[in-house]
Structure 1
Amino acid sequence: MKAHTIAESLVMPATKILVKHVIGEEAVAKLESVSLSNNTVQRRIEEMSSDIADQVIAGVRASKFALCTKVLPPKLLSSLNRVMKIVNFVKTSALNTRLFKLLCEDFGSDHICLLYHTEVRWLSSGNTMRRLFELRDELLVFFMEKKHDFHKDLEDEKFISRLAYLSDIFGALNHLNLSFQGPNCSVSDFILKLGAFVWKLDLWIKNVERKCYGLFELLTTLKSEPNDQFSQEIVHHLSLLKTELMYYFPDVTRCAYIAHTFSVDPADLPVGTGEQEGLIDIQADETAKMKHKECSPMDLWVSMASSYLTLARHAVPQLLIFSSTWECEQGLAMMTIKSKSRNSLAAPGHDF
């Protein structure tokens, strides 16, 4: 690694000359106490990097989608916490992990281990619960042999029903979250996908109210259907989830023409802003139609900015918004950070 000597060899001498002429000799003397050695500069760089990493991690933990887990009704939340305790009991003990693996191998199970849950990777809770649901019979035998109270949960039909439902709903959120990841995903794509998910929530609520549970893959594999009380619990949770999403992601489709330039009715745009007239002009522009088919929304509006300034002034800032934390997480994954917070992002030896 190249030594951090530029501050000592270039920046400090230049600063002394500047301070001498602007402030005086006494100020120059004070600069002598400032340490700019290679070790000092390197340590400060590492401290700043660690602080930046901590801020990014805190941002990921406070992700608006993570708040979806905060709207769980008490009984569902209790089941979720119980699941994590079961997983931690097995995964945090090397002996329990080995014993459970041997038991699964003896049973000829499709899986031989549970999945670990981390606070940062909040969506891992969906995968964690699904794996536990799939290995519930093996876990029941494991805890009965150990004479642990967890076997009572796994024998409780209500707990298993809630586990199945939580696995299904978090699986749907997993799928939604993955659709936001990757390059060239704009906020307009985000809005459309989120709107579709909210629409699905309305549909699911109506289906559950009619005692139709076909949309929940694991829940429908159980012998008994949810009773009225659990059905109301599901409806309540789905309603809370919709309210939470609409609160944190309000309707921002004012610039609907960003991605669907030639299908939006100009009359739907605000009057007096010039957007209606501009949209009519661009919809009549054959060159713009060709570019719309060939280019991404960003490339289209950047190339047409000089011709349709009013529309571009609204469209380009919307397209520059990060639609998810994916870009941040990709950058963080490439960083070498030595801190307790960074360590919590990964758990060597566990599969996710």
Structure 2
Amino acid sequence: MQEENATGELTAYHCIIHQEALCGKALKMEHVMSIITRTVNFIRAKGLNHRQFKAFLTELETEHGDLPYHTEVRWLSQGKVLQRCFELREEICLFLDSKGKDTTQLRDEMFLCEMAFLCDITSHLNAINLQLQGRDRVISDMYSTVKAFKTKLTLWETQMRKENLSHFPSCQTMKEKLSTSAFPSTQLADKIGMLAADFRRRFADFEAQKSRLELLGNPFAVDVESSPPNLQMELIDLQCNDALRAKYAAVGAAEFARFLPGTMPQLRIQAAQTLSMFGSTYLCEQLFSLMNLNKTSHRSRLTAEHHSILRISSAQSLTPNIDELVEKMGHHQVSPSTSNK
């Protein structure tokens, strides 16, 4: 921004990954997760119960031999716990029966339907969470991911009301096994609607920046006439330049801004302002994790002077200057003929 002498106001965003994780709270299905967590804790918390449960699964020759723990710190663990518990629901009930525990709630068909739904929707939320992570995810990429997920939610809500469970395999399994009650498709469709509403609320700022984000994402596809007047002439020049179009296809949206020529100053400023919107704290958290790994009890002598360790481990595009290194080393090398003397 300083290089371009830009004075425009910069836009700040809360971490999009955190926002997406918070959207899951809108489902209001803590009552289901609390029962599952309590069940898993009973099996895993005591060594004897855990060993007996693993032996029990071995005797039954099940596909899975254990249950994973769920922790709030790890966002993706809930989905894994739910999936495993759903797959082992009958074996878990049999084991708890052998321990004299009440399994009425775990056998209730309504609870099992809600558990199946939570299992499927959490799997979808985990999928978008993983898509939002990564070093090279700029704000336009994250915008496209969130936009696609909101569209998927609309589709899922419509399909759920029609009892079309194509994208909810666990729900489909439960629907086929129901004996007395009907599958609560309307109730679960309302849950999807609540989730979609929370996504729209939390990511409302995206709509305000829509044109700017689409311009960064693919400047060759935007409509020139609907673009700001100060960009229109440069956009025409850009979209008619085959060399720049080929460069965009080769390097992608995030890197392409570096190749915009000086004859397109307004597009360069626009790209700089948009790229300054850091959509997530992923890199910050990754750096913090690297710091914790480096500052172990076995490396206690590391100080702030050793910042090069963090720089190298977190660098995205650090390339050594071999020629300069060789030149520096050349002043200290001794020729073989000299050493033989």
TM over 0.5: yes
Any idea what SS the aligned residue of 1:335 has? helix
Partner of 2:199 in structure 1? 245
The alignment's TM-score, normalised by the length of structure 1, stands at 0.72
1:288 aligns with 2:288: no
* Map 1:1-352 → 2, pairs under 5 A: 63-73=18-28, 76-149=29-102, 151-222=103-174, 223-224=176-177, 230-250=184-204, 251=207, 252-255=209-212, 256-270=214-228, 272=229, 274-304=230-260, 306-336=262-292
Q: Percent identity?
A: 30
Q: 1:201 touches 1:238 (CA, 8 Å); kept in 2?
A: yes
Offset of residue 278 of structure 1: 2.2
Q: Deviations over 1:137-192 (max 9, x none)?
A: 1111111011112x212211111111111110000111111112223121111111
Aligned-partner Cα distance in 1 for 2:161–2:144 = 26
Could you say if the C-alpha distance between residues 288 and 224 of structure 1 is closer, same or farther in structure 2, counting changes exceeding 3 Å? same
| Alignment size in residue pairs | 276
Query: How large is the RMSD of aligned CA atoms in angstroms?
Result: 2.5
Offset of residue 305 of structure 1: 5.3
Aligned-partner Cα distance in 2 for 1:229–1:216 = 13
Offset of residue 227 of structure 1: 6.3
The alignment's TM-score, normalised by the length of structure 2, stands at 0.74
Gaps of 5+ in 1: 1-58, 340-352
Offset of residue 224 of structure 1: 4.3
Aligned AA (2:134): G
Q: Deviations over 1:34-60 (max 9, x none)?
A: xxxxxxxxxxxxxxxxxxxxxxxxx98
Aligned-partner Cα distance in 1 for 2:182–2:66 = 34
Larger relative contact order (Cα-Cα within 8 Å, sequence gap ≥ 6): 2
Aligned-partner Cα distance in 2 for 1:152–1:162 = 15
Could you say if the C-alpha distance between residues 119 and 313 of structure 1 is closer, same or farther in structure 2, counting changes exceeding 3 Å? same
Aligned-partner Cα distance in 1 for 2:202–2:181 = 32
Q: 2:24 touches 2:125 (CA, 8 Å); kept in 1?
A: no
Partner of 1:344 in structure 2? none
Q: 1:123 touches 1:174 (CA, 8 Å); kept in 2?
A: yes
Q: Deviations over 1:304-334 (max 9, x none)?
A: 1522221221222323433334323422332
Any idea what SS the aligned residue of 1:318 has? helix
